Every structure is written in structure tokens, then in C-alpha cells.
Amino acid sequence: MPGPLHVELRLVDWAILGIYFAFVLGIGWRLKRHMRTAEEFLLSGRSIPSWITGLAFLSANLGALEVMGMAGNGYKYGLMTAHFYWVGAIPAMVFVGLFMMPFYYGSRARSVPEYLRLRFDEKTRGLNALSFAVLTVLMSGINMYAMAIVFEVMLGWSIHTSILMSAAVVLAYTYLGGLTSSIYNEVLQFFLIVFGFAPLAIVGVEAAGGWSGIEQRLAHTPGMTAIWSSAMRTTDNPMGIELFGLLMGLGFVLSFGYWCTDFLVIQRAMASRDIPSAQRTPLIAALPKALFPFVVVVPGLVAAALAIELPGNRYDYTLPLLLKRFYPTGMLGLGLAALLASFMSGMAGNVTAFNTVWTYDIYQAYIHRGASDQALLRTGRLATLWGVVASIGTAYLVLRFDSLMDYMQLLFGFFNAPIFATFLLGMFCKRTTANGAFYGLLCGISAGILHHVVRSVGFIRYPSDMAAAFYGAIVAFVTCFVVTVLVSLAGRAPAEEALRGLVYSLTPRQQLRLPWHLRPGTAAVAVLVVVVLLNWRFF
């Protein structure tokens, strides 16, 4: 029976949802006949225009984290959540476009773990491939859980039915069309998310009395409507974080660790047709990314200002309850379609990244070295099925946290923070050795997990779960960095000839003869200026 949160959808709402699902599955079916080789299925044949890969680069990050997670954190932590964009995303995205993509694309590496093999050795690649496979399955489970919440609020379905439903749809279109299907659907989902939630932010702010009304309503909670002036002390903001933890934990370790090394997003840029297009991909994505706090964080502030009651004090219910409160028939269907799009975007992005890493970096590297292209294609499709099935189990782990974003940052601290230290030393320090990278990465991951265990039993206390995640990431990064340096200094330095094209100082610079407005540097400057102005406005 539907619960007290249940809302009835009208015929027009169901029609909108039906059209969306038909379009999503139709894209996968239409592209199936073009997926004849493993590279076409797993890497799109590196033939997609940069404006499409740019939107897909952004949309791959528009899963439950971006929509429900950020809205929930807007309710829980206030406007400081915007730091996940203006500090925790844009600088790293610019760095990826200007410096990282020439390495990835120029080496023709098919995945991030494969770059580690070229720079270091097989054991480092294998460790990263295994840890990344675990991460993608855990992240996919987050999106399944988030979709279950929406179905619970909107349709009164059980969490078990909702998880299985979401798994079936994503499996269908990802299995049929591979990465290309995922990318083109991500472009569709980007526009759905914008048009589905931008009106909610506008209507919500008006209902709360405008921005000044929100500030007045939240004046009793320090730091809810400022991003920098409240970051001087942990007691000045709900996030319980101060300047060092914010800049080092989020702005450097977590941010660069995610955008520079997470194959989920890098894979989209790798599908571009050439190096300039690959460089433009994250820069094209950066501008709309800078504006997304107004779409997903502001509704959370509205919910906090209106004191909307959350079932079980779970902040993940914030956005579905706002949709139920403010959207009429028709718009409710559009908003629900946008939510479903965000969940399936994040889930499909993780599944397509998982099947590529499993196929190339685990199956081909360790299980069947001489596998034919058709064998790799079959393995990629089967890995899609395995990834979805495993994600069903991980969806239930999210129930232990009251915020999707807190859980997400904890996972990034375990896996992305140490791999970023490995990449940083590998790409900019010729002295870094294979043994140093392997043992540093292993110790970094272990240190992040150990920090969480120690904190869970009460030996270390933090003002909030998010503050704990930031400092856990710092611990994992520093441990990996220090161990890598020490082990590398104790070993023999690698030959410079073997490092050409893999270390920044030994890589020839490609001279791009492009008009000034098409140069990656021009786009980078424009994006950074916009972000500086936004930070100044909401200081």
C-alpha cells in the first residue's frame, strides 16, 4: 500500500515518463548495430565531437551525487555546499583539460589503469583497476538507492522493487549501445536535469521570500548563506570545516583526485576525435558546472528555510519532497523524469567505466591475454551485466548514512585521494619508481580505510561526517605520497628513455595552430574568471 508520502501521478505525468524511457531505450537499440568491435562498444571508436563529449563529461557526474546529494547537503550544510563546484571542481577540470588530457589521449591508453602500466608496471595497474572496479560498483549502488527513494515518495513502491526497476532499464540501454549509448543519453539527461530543476529553484526561492527571505529564515544557523566568511573556524558553519580542511581536503585532494584520475569522466574525453577536442571536453563542461549550484544547491536551502520535515531526518528526501510540494501535474512528470535521468546517468556512467576497466585491465591483462576482439566485446557485455547485479547489492550499504554526499566523499577518500598522489608523482617526478607507486598506493588506500575505522569506534571525533571525509582524504593522500617517495628513493631510478611521453618534462609539446577563441587556454581563463566572480559575490 502507498505510504503517507505517496503522490498520485496523472496521465500526462505517466506519458512524459513513458516517452523518456522509450527514447532512452531507443537510442541503445539504434546504436546496437554499430557496436561491432570492442573499441566501438567500450570507447566509442574515438569519434564523437567535443561539444557532445563535453556535455557527457558533465552529465556523467550528474548522478545522485549532483542532484539529490547536493540538494540534501544544501539543507544540511547550507551554501557552503557550493564549494563542491567553485573550489572542488572547476580548478581541477581546467587542469585536466590543459595538462592531463594530452597525456591520456597522446599515450592512446584505453583507461586510467593502463596509463599506470605504461608509467609504472602491471602490479600498480592491477591494484588501481581492482580498486576502481570496486568504487564504480559502490557508486552505481548509490544511484540505485537514490532512485528507490524517488519511487517511494512519488509512487509508493518498495525500495526492493525500485532498485530492480532501475537496474533493468540501465542494463538494457548500456548493454545494447555501450559507451556511445551512455554518452548520447547523458546529453539528453543534461537538458532534462536543467529544465526539470531550474524552475524548482526559481519557484522555491520565491516561496521563501527571495534570497533575502532565505537569509532571514536561516539567520539562526551560522554560516548557512555564506561560503568564505564562515570558513574561518569549525564552529562558524554547519559543515564543521575550516579553511585548511576545505582547501586541502576538498579543493586539492578530493577535487583533483576525482577529476584527474576517475576513469568515469576521463572516458568521455577519451572518446573525442583528437587531442584538441579531448582538451576542450572538460573545459566545455566547466562553465555549466559553475552554474549548477543555482539548480541543485539552492533548492536545499529553500527546504531548510521552509523547515520542510524530512522522514527519519534523512536529507536525501529533500528534492523529492520539494517536487511534490511545488510542481503541478505535467511539471511533476518532467521533474520525475529529470530525477530518473540523473540516477541512470550516474549509474550507467559507472557501469560503462566498470566494463571497460574489467575487460581491458583485468580480463585481458590477467585472465586471457590473447583474447580476440570478439571475445573482448562479449566480455564487455557480460561485465555490464555483472556490474549491474553487483550494484544491486551495494545499494543497501547507503542506508547506513543520512546523506548521499557524505558517503560519496568517504568513498572518494578511500580510492581517489591516494591514486591522485600516485599520478602527481608519476607525471611530474622522473625519480618515482614502480615499487614506490605500488606500495604507496596500497598504503594510501589502507590508511584511508583505517582512518574511517578509527573514527567509527570513537577514537577520533569530527564536527560532521563531511569534515571526517575531508580529513580522511588528506590522510590517504599524504600516506601515499610519503610512502611512494621513500620507497622510490630507496630503489633505482627508471631510465629516462622509458618515460618519454609519460612524464611532463619529457613529453614534447604539441603546437596547436588554432584561432585564439578555440584554444583551450582561452576557455580556461574565461571559466576561472566566472568562478572568481561567483566566489566574490557570495563571500
**What does the H/E/C string look like for 397-453?**
HHHHCCCHHHHHHHHHHHHHHHHHHHHHHHHHCCCCCHHHHHHHHHHHHHHHHHHHH
Query: What are the Cα distances from residue 132, in Å, to 129, 351, 360, 398?
Result: 5, 11, 13, 18
- For residue 396, count CB atoms less than 10 angstroms from its CB and return exposed for 0-12, middle for 13-18, buried for 19 or more: middle
- Contact yes or no for 491/87 (Cβ under 8 A): no
Cβ burial 3-36 (10 Å sphere, 16+ → b, else e): eebebebeeebeebbeebbeebbebbeebbeebe
- Contact yes or no for 363/113 (Cβ under 8 A): no
pLDDT at 71: 93
Residue count of the chain, please give it: 539
Whole-angstrom Cα distance, residue 90 to residue 290? 7
Residue among 198, 194, 195, 247 nearest 86 (CA): 247
Amino acid identity of residue 370, one-letter, is G
- In order along its 539 residues, the chain shows pLDDT tens digits of 344 455 667 888 888 888 877 776 666 566 555 545 544 444 444 455 556 666 667 766 766 667 888 999 999 999 999 999 999 999 999 998 888 887 776 665 556 777 888 899 989 988 988 888 888 888 888 877 887 777 777 677 777 787 787 777 667 656 554 445 555 666 677 778 888 888 999 999 999 999 999 999 998 888 899 889 888 888 888 899 999 999 999 999 999 988 888 766 776 777 677 777 778 888 888 888 899 899 999 999 999 999 998 887 889 889 888 988 898 888 888 888 887 777 766 676 677 777 777 887 788 878 888 778 778 778 877 887 888 888 888 888 887 787 888 898 999 999 999 999 998 999 899 999 999 999 999 999 999 999 999 999 989 999 999 999 999 999 999 999 999 999 999 999 999 888 887 888 887 766 667 777 777 888 889 999 999 999 998 88
Residue among 284, 252, 347 nearest 101 (CA): 284
- Contact yes or no for 438/127 (Cβ under 8 A): yes
pLDDT at 263: 67
- For cell 529529470, what's the residue? 338
Cβ burial 38-54 (10 Å sphere, 16+ → b, else e): bbbbbbbbbebebebbb
Local structure of residue 186 (DSSP, 8 states): H
- Is residue 272 classed as helix, strand or coil in its secondary structure? strand
- Measured from the Cβ of residue 232, the count of other Cβ atoms closer than 10 Å reads 12
Between 50-59 and 159-207, two packed helices, what is the crossing angle to 10 degrees? 100
Residue among 86, 87, 448, 420 nearest 266 (CA): 420
Distance of CA 396 to the CA centre of its chain: 20
- Contact yes or no for 34/40 (Cβ under 8 A): yes
pLDDT at 2: 41
Element (H, E) at 489: helix 465-490
Scanning 327-372, the segments in alpha helix (DSSP H) are 331-356
Question: Dihedral sign, CA of 28, 404, 141, 284?
Answer: positive
Fold of 11-41+50-537: Sodium/glucose cotransporter (1.20.1730)
pLDDT at 10: 82
Domain segments of the chain as ranges: 11-41+50-537
**Beta bridge partners of residue 48, listed in sequence order:** 272
Query: What are the Cα distances from residue 42, in Å, to 125, 228, 235, 330, 359?
Result: 19, 42, 48, 37, 9
**Beta bridge partners of residue 272, listed in sequence order:** 48
pLDDT at 7: 63
Local structure of residue 280 (DSSP, 8 states): H
pLDDT at 244: 92
